Each structure stands twice: as C-alpha cells, then as structure tokens.
C-alpha cells in the first residue's frame, strides 16, 4: 500500500556528496527539505563512499577549478573545526614527472606548478636528489622532475558523508534511508513529487536528482551527455610502512596525464596504501554490471609499483573495487534546472574529480534551484555535448582528450 509523506519544499534524491551538501544548504536557507537514498547513507556502492579522495588545487591551466579548489581547501579546514573531526588531512600533493617539467608531456604538471607559484603558494620543484632524500619510498631514478605542494592533501570521504548526514539531521532535514526513487509524479509539466520502489510517495515543490551514476538512467534525456564509467581502486598492505607514512609520502600522481596513476599515503586506520587510476575507465551499468577488478588491471598496478615504488612491488593486494564516475563528455559537473520540466533539477556529473569541491557544491546547487547564478556555475549548466566534446580535466589520462 502506497504510504504518503508530508509535503516538502525540496526533495533531494541521492545521499552522496552532491545530494547531502545540497540538502544541508537548502535547510540552512530555511526550506523544508528531505533526502532519500536506498539502504543507508553513506551507501556502500556510492562513489563518495571511500577512505580517501584527493584535495588538490593542481588543475593544470584551468584557473576556474584552481580557484574553486583554493576556496575548498580553506573550507575543508573550517569543516574540521566545525565538526571537531579530522575530515581533511593536509599531507601535501606530489606530482611525479617522467620527463622534464617543460616538456610537452608534462603540460598538466607544468601549468599546475605555475598556477601555484603565481598565486603565492609554497610549491617546490624537486630534482632526483631532492626526491630521493625527501621521499625515500619513491624510485627517484624513474622520474626526471617533480613538484611538491604542502597546501593540499586528502579527505576521508565516507566519514565526511557520515558526519554531514548527522549535521543535516541536526538542521531538521528528513533523511530517509531505505528509499529508492522509482518514478517522478509530474502534472502539466511540473514535478509534484516522487514515488519510491519501497512504496512511499513524497510530495514536494521541487525535486533535485543527485543520484550519481544512476542519474542518466533516472533522467534519460541526460544519457547522450553523460555515462557511468568504472575505475579500479586498489588497497595494498605494505610489509613495512615506514617510507609510506604521510610525513614521507603525500598524496601523489605518477605522471598522471600519461598513465592515470595516483595514490595516497599509508592509512594507519586501515593498514593500507590506496592506488587508483584516473583514466578512461570502462562503461558499466550501475545496477546491472559486474564491478569486479580484472587481472589486467592488477598486472597494470604491479608494473607501476615495480618502477615507481619498488618496495611495494610484491605487497599483498587486500582489496579492489570498481568505483563509478558520473562522466560528462566534457568532464565538467552538471548542475542545472531541467529545461522542460518545472520543479526538477540535476546536481551530478562529478567526472572523477568533484569530491574535493564538497564545500562549494551545496551553494552551487541551491543557487541554481533558486534560479540564481553563482560565480562558478556557468560551465555546469545544461549543455549540448557530442562525442567530439573534449575532456577538460587536464590530469585525466584519456586519448585525444575524448572519452
């Protein structure tokens, strides 16, 4: 039997980082807001549910993402204080380059470094000797150049969503776990509410779809512009973590725009070092396809460890996961109102790089839903993309900049 829940000003579908930051901002603006998500928040299959996400200002020549990240680095520290919990760890960010920084192969690193220096940050350029002395866990002979930026690090993503869920509840948000959007109730071109698979109807004036990689399935008119892609994540257990503790091993990229590889320092809480690939990935359906990480990916990992971190080449692999990007064809987020249906908006399109922007995502989404513009919102608007659209995120290792 269909259960009906009281009417809300805003109903947010999806309790990942896009949804939870949106509902918090809306509650702060005094709207009656609710959030729904299957099972529990953080959801075990959500992209936002992980141990770490990199927080970096390094965005190549893209000064807009640089500025967004610059604001977010400070706000992550404010969140650490506000929640009295260390969500953000400022352990630094190290870009390893196989070629000289000025070579055409290191465009991402070169422009990222220049942006940091031009904006007064303490970034350092390291040669092989420096690298060997400062970061003994790295095979310095494999890298001709490197840049280290202390004003960066990682966020504990799953913990962040957990803490933000509690905060949302404290602001009066109805957080409804175990509710899965099945269909929207639309009359005369306007959203009236949504029905869930679990048999509940939520009435609302405005629905915001932040369902991550499920979004193009919930709103099929988005499927030409974005897709769900799987990306491998690996946890290795070092025999001796001494050279891989955060004090000697920051968040790092391994010639990322040419290899896709990046990773994090040893995490004492989990006893592991996490590696992942920021590359093209494989297109997979979020609910139907297998999320298994294959042998080819594992061989790829071993090859990278062999040349970059020899001490870890045979370290046991204790966990693998295929994590999903909501991949727009140009790599920019998608935060806008539906062009035809009133009272319907979308906040998604993280494309593998949105978590760090969590402290800005809520206001971007709330401003959009209120019909306001935001200094950073223009490139996230509803847009026409084609297979010729180029990937904007310069760290990403994709052929010809196309997905």
Q: Residue numbers of the site for ligand FAD (CB under 6 A)?
A: 13-19, 36-38, 43, 46-48, 53-54, 180-181, 210-212, 214, 218, 231, 233, 276, 323-326, 348, 350, 352-356
Question: Which residue in 334, 324, 323 sits closest to 389, CA to CA?
Answer: 334
Q: How many angstroms separate the CA atoms of 175 and 88, rounded? A: 24
E strand or H helix that includes residue 297:
helix 295-308
H helices within 61-181, ranges in order?
63-82, 107-118, 128-134, 157-170
Give min distance, CB of 319 to ligand FAD, in A. 13
Closest CB to ligand FAD among residues 311, 338: 338
Closest CB to ligand FAD among residues 139, 326: 326
- How far CA 249 is from CA of 224, 235, 374, in Å, comes to 41, 16, 37
Closest CB to ligand FAD among residues 36, 267: 36
- Characterize the bridge pairing of strands 174-177 and 33-37: parallel
Q: How many angstroms separate the CA atoms of 108 and 256, rounded? A: 9
Give min distance, CB of 293 to ligand FAD, in A. 11
Residues 6+ apart with CB under 8 A from 318: 235, 236, 237, 272
Closest CB to ligand FAD among residues 17, 301: 17
What is the DSSP secondary-structure string of 66-95? HHHHHHHHHHHHHHHHHTTS--EE---EEE
Give min distance, CB of 281 to ligand FAD, in A. 8
Give min distance, CB of 17 to ligand FAD, in A. 4
Give min distance, CB of 141 to ligand FAD, in A. 27
Q: How many angstroms separate the CA atoms of 10 and 181, rounded? A: 14
Give min distance, CB of 149 to ligand FAD, in A. 15
Closest CB to ligand FAD among residues 110, 277: 277
Closest CB to ligand FAD among residues 34, 140: 34
């Amino acid at each position: 039997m269909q259960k009906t829940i009281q009417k809300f000003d805003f109903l947010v579908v999806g309790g990942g980082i896009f949804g939870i930051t949106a509902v918090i901002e809306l509650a702060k603006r005094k709207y009656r807001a609710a959030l729904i998500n299957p099972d529990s928040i953080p959801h075990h299959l959500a992209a936002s549910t992980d141990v770490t996400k990199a927080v970096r200002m390094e965005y190549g020549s893209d000064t807009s993402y640089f500025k967004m990240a610059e604001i977010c680095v400070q706000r992550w520290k404010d969140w650490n204080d506000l929640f009295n919990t260390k969500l953000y760890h400022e352990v630094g960010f190290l870009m390893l380059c196989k070629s000289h920084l000025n070579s055409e192969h290191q465009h991402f690193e070169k422009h990222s470094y220049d942006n940091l220096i031009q904006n007064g940050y303490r970034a350092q350029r390291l040669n092989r000797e420096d690298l060997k002395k400062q970061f003994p866990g790295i095979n310095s002979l494999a890298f001709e150049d490197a840049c280290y930026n202390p004003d960066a690090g990682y966020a504990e993503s799953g913990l962040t969503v957990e803490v933000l869920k509690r905060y949302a509840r404290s602001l009066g948000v109805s957080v409804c776990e175990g509710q899965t959007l099945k269909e929207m109730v639309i009359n005369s071109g306007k959203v009236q509410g949504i029905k869930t698979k679990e048999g509940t109807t939520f009435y609302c004036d405005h629905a915001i779809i932040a369902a991550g990689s499920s979004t193009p399935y919930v709103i099929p008119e988005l499927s030409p512009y974005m897709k769900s892609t799987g990306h491998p994540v690996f946890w290795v257990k070092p025999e001796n973590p001494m050279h891989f503790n955060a004090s000697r091993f920051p968040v790092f990229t391994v010639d990322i725009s040419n290899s896709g590889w990046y990773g994090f320092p040893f995490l004492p809480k989990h006893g592991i070092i996490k590696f992942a690939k920021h590359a093209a990935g494989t297109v997979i359906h979020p609910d139907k396809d297998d999320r298994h990480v294959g042998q080819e990916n594992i061989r790829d990992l071993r090859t990278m460890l062999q040349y970059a971190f020899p001490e870890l080449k045979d370290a046991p692999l204790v966990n693998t996961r295929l994590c999903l990007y909501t991949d727009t064809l140009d790599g920019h987020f998608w935060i806008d109102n539906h062009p035809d249906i009133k009272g319907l908006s979308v906040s998604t399109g993280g494309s593998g790089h949105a978590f760090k922007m969590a402290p800005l995502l809520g206001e971007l989404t709330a401003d959009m839903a209120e019909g306001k513009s935001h200094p950073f919102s223009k490139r996230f608007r509803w847009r026409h993309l084609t297979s010729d659209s180029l990937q904007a995120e310069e760290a990403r290792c994709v052929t010809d900049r196309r997905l």
